[in-house]
Amino acid sequence: MHAEWGKITAEQVVDPIQAKLVSGRQDISFGRLCTDSRKAGPGELFWALKGDKYDGHDFVQDAVRAGVSGVVISEASLPRLQPMLDIDRDPETQAVLTVGDTLKALGDLARWWRRQYKVSVVAITGSAGKTTTKELCASILKRESNVLKSEGNFNNLIGVPLSLVRLGPDISIVVLELGMNRPGEIARLTQITDPDVGVITNVGKVHLEGLGNIEQVASAKGELIAESSPGARMVLNGDDRLLMSTARRLRQDLFTFGVEPKNDVTAERIRENPMKGISFILRYRDGSWPVNLKVPGRHNMQNALAAAAVGFVSNVSPEHIVAGLEEFKGITGRFTIERLSCGVTVIDDTYNANPTALRAALETGKSMIPKTSRFLVALGDMLELGDAAPMEHRAAGRLVADAGAAYFIVMGDYAPDMIRGAIEAGFPENHIAVVQSHDQMVEALEGMAGEGDIVFFKASRLMALDKAVEMFKASMERKRTADAL
């Protein structure tokens, strides 16, 4: 039988995750998997996971009292939890399963769950563009199949398994994003997902704190190729020389996308329409089709080519590929463009940041600036760069100067490095503002931004610069209202 929530029992879960049914009936069934005790409810299976800040084992008692049908805990935690379980648990309706490592067991369950269904899995990784490519792929594939895609940032050793166990009998294609910050993670995620199509968007300077250098990043991304089955199709950015050099050492039957003519899927007659999107001719074999993307930037065109390549290797019709690309309207926080009623345009690119993504975003921003407008850049730190952080933030400052920014507002521990880079590249020091908070950033921008200006925000997710974006928009609207009175 298929794995299916509401029907799957404690007895069926034991073997895939190498668990021991410590107590409870074998025929107890589970309606859903839950990892957050605050959301746990009757009939669910609570999975205790240990994170950087919290340990799910500390909340097992809450889950039991909420009426879950079972808990999965580590063997090591059982002596500590046993007294509480003996008091609070109903042995007739609540099972206790122990495993050596609850995180590994979650991956094992997901791998088993995926193999219960005859589905095609598309797994996407890369230093930049993963989420956008995932959304574009789903937009294409859903036109001919029922698609399950990972939501939000569910791209790690917890999020990917939680996405896979949502798989049910009505799904025929699964589209997943694979992230990592250290060696071995992509390999493990590949083992769990067993992809039919693997995609690598590019290799850039990300997660250097855990990987050391860009060559190690390429090697880590290459784990997707090394761990995939021989029959899986590998779709790679053929314009990325480091990626291709790494990939060819692992495999030869590669399917490529990019703007260079040598690629299997490519683009011609590229035309950028500032603030609106980018158009191009999509080419594959002897065919060509006009595409009008609603999102701007050549980096988004590369993401579109990656998704189109997935469509072609999945035998989706060209017409549906084009329709899927043109339907996509972007993702909040990923170069989202909004023109305010006061005449200021905000570019929200705050979802995350790394040197590769920042360069692409600033190049796109520069191409969008009308002669009558000014470009204001507000940046926060790019995290997880390790020893390379000072150098990469200095380079970021130079990129801002090269982009022709009128003002530069910086926040974070690496603000001095960004300022140094900008000044070295000729940026006027009196047009730089260093701020310590979102409030100060908004206050600085209020005094700089005027009608026709473009304000660009970007930083790593932990900098929470999206808050500054919302505060700035609200402030400018209030200011406009006040001026009108």
* DSSP character at residue 97: E
Residue-level pLDDT at 481: 66
Angle at 214 between CA 255 and CA 200, to 5 degrees: 25
| CB contact set of 63 (below 8 Å; sequence gap of 6+) | 34, 37, 40, 46, 71
CATH 3.90.190.20 in the chain: give the residue spans.
336-484
Are 408 and 422 in contact by the 8 Å Cβ rule? The answer is yes
DSSP string, 181-197: SSTTHHHHHHHHH--SE
CATH homologous superfamily of 117-327: Mur-like, catalytic domain (3.40.1190.10)
Please give the single-letter amino acid code of residue 60. V
Are 324 and 390 in contact by the 8 Å Cβ rule? The answer is no
Cα distance between residue 76 and residue 62, in whole Å:
19
Residue-level pLDDT at 210: 79
CATH homologous superfamily of 336-484: Mur ligase, C-terminal domain (3.90.190.20)
Residue-level pLDDT at 205: 82
Cα distance between residue 404 and residue 376, in whole Å:
9
Q: What is each CA distance from 11 to 27, 67, 169, in whole angstroms?
A: 6, 19, 21
Are 198 and 232 in contact by the 8 Å Cβ rule? The answer is yes
Identify which of 389, 448, 67 has the alpha carbon closest to the alpha carbon of residue 208. 389
For 453, other C-beta atoms within 10 Å of its C-beta total 21
Residue-level pLDDT at 163: 97
Cα distance between residue 269 and residue 281, in whole Å:
6
The hierarchical CATH code for the domain 10-103 is 3.40.1390.10
Q: β-pairing, 197-200 with 120-125?
A: parallel
For residue 85, the surrounding DSSP H or E stretch is helix 78-88
Q: What are phi and psi of 271, to 5 degrees?
A: -130, 120
* DSSP character at residue 461: G
Residue-level pLDDT at 369: 82
Cα distance between residue 191 and residue 168, in whole Å:
20
Cα distance between residue 159 and residue 255, in whole Å:
27
CATH 3.40.1390.10 in the chain: give the residue spans.
10-103
| Cα dihedral: 303, 305, 307, 313 (round 10) | -150
Digitized pLDDT (tens) for each residue of the chain, 485 residues in all: 478 999 999 999 999 999 999 999 999 999 999 999 999 999 999 999 998 888 999 999 999 999 999 999 999 999 999 999 988 899 899 999 999 999 999 999 999 999 999 999 999 999 999 999 999 999 999 999 999 999 988 999 999 999 999 999 999 999 999 999 899 999 999 999 999 999 999 998 887 777 889 999 999 999 999 999 999 999 999 999 999 999 999 999 999 999 999 999 999 999 988 778 999 999 999 999 999 999 998 999 999 999 999 999 999 999 999 999 999 999 989 999 999 999 999 999 999 999 999 999 999 888 888 877 899 999 999 999 999 999 999 999 999 999 999 999 999 999 999 999 999 999 999 999 999 999 999 999 999 999 999 999 999 999 999 999 999 999 998 876 666 55
CATH 3.40.1190.10 in the chain: give the residue spans.
117-327
Cα distance between residue 400 and residue 406, in whole Å:
9
Residue-level pLDDT at 51: 86
Residue-level pLDDT at 183: 94
Q: Is 263 left (phi over 0), alpha (psi -120 to 50) or beta?
A: beta
Residue-level pLDDT at 477: 83
